[in-house]
Amino acid sequence: MAINTARVKKLRQRPIDGLAFKRLAEAGTIWLKTNEKIVNSLNVFPVPDGDTGTNMNLTLQSAWNEIKDMGTRHFGEMAAAFSKGALMGARGNSGVITSQILRGFSRGVHDHETLDAETFIAALNDARETAYRGVVKPVEGTILTVIKDTALAAESARGSVNDAFELLEVAVRAADEAVARTPEFLPILKQAGVVDSGGKGLFFFLEGMLRHVYGEALDAPTMQVASLSAVGLEDALEIVEEGQDYEVIVDFTPNGELNLRKFYETLDEMGTSIQVGEGEGMYRMHIHVPTEKRYEPIDYIMGLGTVTKVAIENLMAQMDDIQKSKAPQIQFGAVEAGTIAVIVVSPGVGISRIFASLGASAVVSGGQTMNPSTQDILNSFENLPTDKVIILPNNKNIVMAANQAKEVTVKNVQVVPTRTVPQGLAAMLSFDPSGDVEAVAERMNKALSHVKTGEITVAIRSVEIDGVTVADGQVIAMLDGKLVASSDSIERGVFDLLEKAAADEHEIITLFYGEELPHIEANRIADAVREKYANLEVEVQEGGQPHYQFIISIE
């Protein structure tokens, strides 16, 4: 970083009070958002669900929203409000642990009007301890290791730093080094050739604060080019911001070496959601632009090389269609006072309907790439006319948020830690709305071992993990969260998965097909499965989940 010495000197002449923390927190949040896609890309498995950066960004955005209109100069009060916002907005395991780090930090500065080096050291220690206590089985090589090493480095710097700003430099350097070491603790990271994504997100948050101190820009991300296949018309349209009227995609071959930095800077003046992919000398540019600028990226790129393909899509029209397709009504049974309400997290409309038919009281939309927040889960049951609630997260990355929702309500909430949709459905078969909530939850928990879960999707990058070699674009099979096979077709992937699961030793196979797979093709593959496994009951159901062509239940 290029240090603005005069700026740093001026800042150090002022106490770090609540307003100063507000500016630092804003900078950290912005810098993480700027590098969100880089954090998302650090996914161990080559599946299209890397969402750590998104979860941490949304968690910190919620924290920022809590303090953006506050004017208190009391450091502890501002930090407590930031922590509260993170707690309620926490999404995914990374977001929940981030909120716990902030919770511990705020406890450490609770009574302090300003922050000095000694208080900073104590607060980082509290952050570390709170984060570790919040995880049942702490795993090293994760964000936990990064906050631990950061706190230890701060402790070691006691007496050798002059103020909290110097200690922030120590913390950022320690976090960076800790992230680089994460593959030493987790062999799976080394196999995948990545560092821990949550730890990297925490580093970006801390580094953003330091960049603010130094006067560095916060809007230019670390350069990273996505793979060509990852940038296409099928890109997610979760949110269309104001002014994003059209999506423009251009495939081209540059006349010479492409100056990526200048390319990004020019495109940034035209629109948002810029992505650039490269493969074998060809580039693909993706951008969202207002109506009046929809041809500007094309004209610009034509001056750089040979355009081979252009696609323009009306985003607002697409969003209308998407919202209409997600609007079907689902009938849930009435919840009566004194009975148990079951809240389920579901990734697709078809799966939501099945949960409703089994007695679920409410559905929270969520799954891979769309983890609900603590507040989302809390909102789903707070107004129900019963104080007995069971939550089925149905995703390993939502369990912690569900447990956090349990901690912030006065209702008797039990979390059955379902990590997959098939586990959730198996649990529902043991549900008794009139029973004792603890006993019912225990029975539902025991049912989880009766089912295996398979997932079929398409790899977004090449990698070798656990002896399975995967090429970008291949179909891959996951069995109970472990990569077990790669193949060149969805059908072959299904059969490879069933063989790895020893399906012939079970009784029922249920195929939940995703939103991208035509039901005719799903039925054809189901018929092929029936032919091979004639002694088993084979069912096919509409799941409606994104990213995964099939979620498979094997009972």
Question: 5-214 and 328-450: same fold?
Answer: no
* pLDDT tens-digit map of 61-120: 999 999 999 999 999 999 999 999 999 999 888 899 999 999 999 999 999 999 999 999
Name 406's Cβ contacts closer than 8 Å, sequence gap at least 6: 391, 413, 414, 415
d(CA 419, CA 426) in angstroms, rounded, equals 12
Secondary-structure class of domain 5-214 per CATH: mainly alpha
Residue 547 in this model has a pLDDT that exceeds 60: yes
Helix axis angle, 18-34 to 75-89, nearest 10°: 30
- Confidence bin at 258 (pLDDT 50/70/90): confident
Could you identify the residue written with the tokens 């498979």?
A: 552
d(CA 385, CA 402) in angstroms, rounded, equals 20
Question: Pick from 421, 474, 416: which is nearest to 444 by CA?
Answer: 416
Whether residue 202 contacts residue 102, with contact meaning beta carbons closer than 8 Å, is answered with no
Domain residue ranges of the chain, discontinuous segments joined by + = 5-214, 226-323, 328-450, 452-554
Q: Round to the nearest angstrom and report the end-to-end CA distance of the chain.
A: 56
Q: C-alpha angle with apex 341: 331 to 355, nearest 5 degrees?
A: 45
Q: Which one is the CATH code of 226-323: 3.40.50.10420, 3.40.50.150, 3.40.50.720, 3.30.70.260? A: 3.30.70.260
Q: Which one is the CATH code of 452-554: 1.10.10, 3.30.1180, 3.30.2420, 3.40.30? A: 3.30.1180
Q: What percent of the chain has pLDDT over 90?
A: 62
d(CA 467, CA 188) in angstroms, rounded, equals 12
Give the pair of three-digit tokens for residue 128: 């570390």
CATH 3.40.50.970 assigned to 328-450: no
Residue 229 in this model has a pLDDT that exceeds 50: no
Average the pLDDT over 33-59 and give the result: 83
Residue 238 in this model has a pLDDT that exceeds 70: no
d(CA 372, CA 55) in angstroms, rounded, equals 9
d(CA 364, CA 347) in angstroms, rounded, equals 9
pLDDT value for 227: 41
pLDDT value for 463: 86
Residue 327 in this model has a pLDDT that exceeds 50: no
* pLDDT tens-digit map of 369-391: 688 899 999 999 988 999 999 99
DSSP assignment of 241-306, as one string? Answer: -TT--EEEEEEEEESS---HHHHHHHHHTT-EEEEEEEETTEEEEEEEE-GGGTTHHHHHHHTTEE
